[in-house]
Structures are given as C-alpha cells and as structure tokens.
Amino acid sequence: MSKLNIGIILGSTRQGRVSPQVGEWVKKIGDQRGDANYEIVDIADYKLPLLGEADATEQATAWNVKLASLDGFVFIVQEYNHSISASLKNALDYARDAWNNKAAGIVSYGSVGGARAAEHLRGILGELSVADVRVHPALSLFTDFENGSVFKPADLHLTNVNGMLDQVLSWSGALKTIR
C-alpha cells in the first residue's frame, strides 16, 4: 500500500505570522516518522480573493486540485478574536468535494492554546464531511513562543503531535476506502 499524503495547512496569510514555524515543526516530526508523505500547504500561495467578490476560477481550481491530491490534513490554526482567521474560513469555503471523507488533526495556538479557534474549526469541518481527530496539540503564546514570534515548543507537545498524527493516519486510511 502506498503512503498517505497529508497536507499541513497553514491557516493564516498575514505578514509576520508564525504558522510557518509551527507547520515546519509538525512536518519535521512527521517526516521523522516516515509513515506518510507530509507536505506544507500554504493558503497564501493560492491568492484566493474573498469568495464571490471576483472571478477566482484559476485559483479555486488550483486549490481544489491540491486538496483532492491529499488523503488527510493537519490544520495549523491560530486564534483570532476567539475564532479562526478569515483567510482560513475563505479557503475552506472555496472547496466542497475535495474535503469530503478525509480526516484532519488540529494544532492550535493562542493565549489559551487556540482552543476556541479549534472548536470553531471542528464545527466547520463537520459540515464539510471531514472527520477531525480527538488528540489536539494546543500551544500557548506565553510558554511556547519567545516574544510572541519565535516558536520554541515545550517537549511535552511531541507526545500530542505524534498521537494526533497516529489518529490522522488511521482515520485517513480508513476513509480512503470509501472515496
């Protein structure tokens, strides 16, 4: 059986974001495991305009093709005003079928570990027929980031990331059989 393809979705597009640091950390952990093909998927690269405001056929097609090539996801989610970023919500809305019957894990960060953003994302994923897994690494802006900008995760998060990846791979493999 070939390895599953897992996209690590960076959920922010703003200047100065730290999601690339967190995403690379998750990818490094995944790559060391060697049990799947892990890939960073940066929504900023797709230049999606606000849904319905412009003709985005080319961008939406590229976005949906990328999502369709993946078997599962890990969302890197930062908390903005107790929710997910507008750019992530917009990117979620640009696809429908490409999300269906796949699994996702969530790695969140914020002043309370990004927990409220993760909970909002779970509701959206349910509507898109994405099965989100239980294990949820939650990173604190106060203890896992130096000066709010340099990612320095506590060692204890390694256990949660591996547990989340175990679940994402298990569920992604099972859901692949019904796609």
* CATH domain 4-176 topology: Rossmann fold (3.40.50)
What pTM was estimated for this model as a whole? 0.97
Evaluate whether 5 touches 69 at the Cβ level (below 8 Å): yes
Q: Which residues pair with 83 in a beta bridge?
A: 80
- In three-state secondary structure terms, 108 is strand
Evaluate whether 173 touches 155 at the Cβ level (below 8 Å): no
What are the residues whose beta carbons fall under 8 Å from the beta carbon of 133, sequence distance 6 or more?
103, 104, 105, 164, 167, 168, 171
pLDDT digits (tens, 9 = 90+) for 23-43: 999 999 999 999 999 999 999
pLDDT at 148: 86
Evaluate whether 75 touches 6 at the Cβ level (below 8 Å): no
Rg, Å, the chain Cα set: 15
* pLDDT above 80 (res 76): yes
